[in-house]
Amino acid sequence: MDSNAYLLQQLARWGYTLEERPRHAYLAYCGLDQPFTYVLAHGVVKTSIILKNGREFNIAYLKGPSVISLLRDEVSAFTSAPFNIRVESDKASFYKVPRVELWNNLNHDTGLQQYVKEYYRQRWSESIRSQQLLAMNSKRGVICGFLLNLAQQFGRPVDGGILIDFIVPYEDIAGFCGISTRNSVNRIISELRHDGLLDLRERHILIPSLESLREQIAE
């Protein structure tokens, strides 16, 4: 059994029950105090923050099963939410666990302690890769890198390539890639379609060749 499945099994054994929310429902708002940690069982959520100029900066898409946040200390019953959490799939199911209870349970389970270490290690690695992508590439390269990551995380094989299996709005692509306007994203997507590097299928992004897309990225 993998660590994510084991975590969900333990949460059910501890007596927590699944909750469900529809697409674009918010689970948490950045800066507001909350007593819960969210553990995503099924679906996709987006984490983001609002910058001082009012623009949204996207942090990550997360696919269940996954812990959405284990940030901050282990002893405070309430903590400021580190980011917004919004459902991006048609629906998402999750466990909403009181923070202190979760940490107490984790601290008595060596398997889940290893899960937490790997969680932070993975998030740190993803953060470094994201910074490298933004620093070393043009807007086109950044978008190609972002779409490649989505294909690896959410893609499924179909006739003609790899289909990213949920709708990714251009506004979100702009927010993830540090691009100021949706129009800039639309222009670059049009160029990539013209070059045969991607296509659209019922509002979903289709990537004919991951290798060809990877060649557009400076690494």
pLDDT category of residue 80 using cuts at 50, 70 and 90:
low
Whether the Cβ atoms of residue 70 and residue 37 lie closer than 8 Å to each other: yes
Considering only CA atoms, which of 91, 90, 98, 80 is closest in space to residue 38?
Answer: 98
Work out whether the CA dihedral 82, 19, 106, 34 comes out positive or negative.
positive
What does the pLDDT look like over 151-210, one tens digit per residue? 998 999 999 999 998 889 999 999 899 888 888 999 999 999 999 999 999 889 999 999
Residue 78, pLDDT above cutoff 70: no
Whether the Cβ atoms of residue 7 and residue 118 lie closer than 8 Å to each other: no
What does the pLDDT look like over 25-37, one tens digit per residue? 999 888 788 888 8
pLDDT of residue 28: 87
Whether the Cβ atoms of residue 178 and residue 188 lie closer than 8 Å to each other: no
CA distance 128 to 121: 11
> Residue range 57-66: average pLDDT?
87
Residue 50, pLDDT above cutoff 90: no
> Residue range 6-21: average pLDDT?
91
SS3 45: strand
> Residue range 147-152: average pLDDT?
92
- Which residues fall within 8 angstroms of residue 192, CB to CB, at 6 or more apart? 140, 143, 144, 198
> Residue range 79-90: average pLDDT?
84
CA distance 107 to 115: 11
pLDDT of residue 115: 82
Min mean pLDDT across 39-48, 94-103, 112-121 is at 112-121
Residue 75, pLDDT above cutoff 50: no
Domain architecture of the chain: domains with CATH: 3-121 (2.60.120.10), 137-214 (1.10.10.10)
How many residues would you count in the chain?
A: 219
Please give the mean pLDDT across all residues of the chain. 86
pLDDT category of residue 107 using cuts at 50, 70 and 90:
confident
> Residue range 8-36: average pLDDT?
89
pLDDT of residue 117: 83
